[in-house]
Amino acid sequence: AAKRAGQAYRRWDPALDEQSTGHARLGAEMRIALDTGQFQVVYQPIVAYPEGRVAAVEALVRWEHPQRGTVSPAQFVPVAEQNGLIIELGAWILRTACRRMARWRAELGGSAPDKVSVNVSARQLAGPGFATTVADILAETGLPPHHLAVEVTETSVFEGGQAVTTLHELRKIGVQIALDDFGTGHSSLGLLQTVPVDILKVDKSFVDNVTEAGRHSVIAEALIQISTELGMTAVAEGVETAEQADALHQLGYTLLQGYHFSRPLAEPDFGRRPTTTGGM
Ligand code: C2E
Ligand code: CA
Ligand code: CA
Ligand code: CA
């Protein structure tokens, strides 16, 4: 039998098959979850160090599935990207976070965080309507634009479509742009030449070994220098110990986020955070 190239390699893979039906099921359940209120937004403090004030919060989505329990966003966000539901889910997350932030500003005044940072995925950013969606949500919730940042990754920017144009539009209306997982992509530095970035989120992988002399602390130091020179704000992600916090402080970092300060919570506490080594 004649086999054309490409066909010869197409074999039935039970694992792949399993995965795709699993995705389809998860996708269908996500539709129901959105309609029945199974999604929740939690907020992780970003702390001004060493003062301990909560300067900002990152909004993170959670799915409380009635049978499966808590499903990780690392699991369902990629599925929502694939089936397109991320457009509706993403808008819901954005609206929820902006409404919440507007309420904190109204209730807590000066003790409220300055900013809520919301993760935005490639597919949301690629479409033509995203800047308008954001503007509408800000108008609807009454949140002034400078209290919102959108977190994008290098991959989501490079996936193209309208992404770069959209980021410029968002910047123009006063929304800040945060580059997430910075340093883990292939051309993180190159991206800084084409995309207007206000906030660099230095990836946890550089924070993990920052207390040891060696390449990670050298990179962490280079990244804070670059962000300062370019007029950006650096946030160190995934800070788990007091020693890491102090080492980052020594390098010049002033904004830290991680389990050492707080896990993401539905009701974060905006009181001051532990600041000194051994203080917990
Ligand atoms: P990310 O944007 O890089 O978010 C940081 C992740 O690290 C969060 O996991 C957070 O809970 C976790 N984290 C924070 N501090 C620490 C720490 O000290 N140690 C460790 N080991 N982890 C820490 P989460 O909430 O499970 O989210 C995973 C990823 O899913 C996010 O990574 C983001 O890419 C995506 N995601 C989460 N929420 C959303 C959302 O609302 N929209 C979109 N598009 N993606 C989201
Ligand atoms: Ca993020
Ligand atoms: Ca990140
Ligand atoms: Ca990530």
Q: For position 1, what pLDDT does the model report?
A: 44
Residue nearest to atom 19 of ligand 1 (CA): 238
CA distances 265 to 174, 193, 206, Å, are 27, 35, 24
Neighbours of ion ligand 2 (CB under 5 A): 119, 151, 180
Write down the ipTM of this complex: 0.98
Ligand 1: residues whose CB is within 6 Å? Answer: 44, 59-61, 72-74, 77, 90, 93, 119-121, 180-181, 238-240, 258-259, 264
Q: Rounded to the nearest 5 degrees, what angle is found at the Cα of 249, between the Cα atoms of 243 and 254?
A: 130
Residue nearest to atom 34 of ligand 1 (CA): 74
The amino acid sitting at 156 is S
CA distances 128 to 33, 122, 123, 172, Å, are 26, 12, 10, 16
Alpha carbons 190 and 102: distance in angstroms, whole number: 35
Q: For position 279, what pLDDT does the model report?
A: 44
pTM of the predicted structure, to 2 decimals: 0.92
pLDDT tens digits along 98-118: 999 999 999 999 999 999 999
Q: Which parts of the chain have pLDDT scores under 50?
A: 1-3, 5-6, 278-280
Neighbours of ion ligand 3 (CB under 5 A): 180-181, 237
Q: For position 272, what pLDDT does the model report?
A: 73
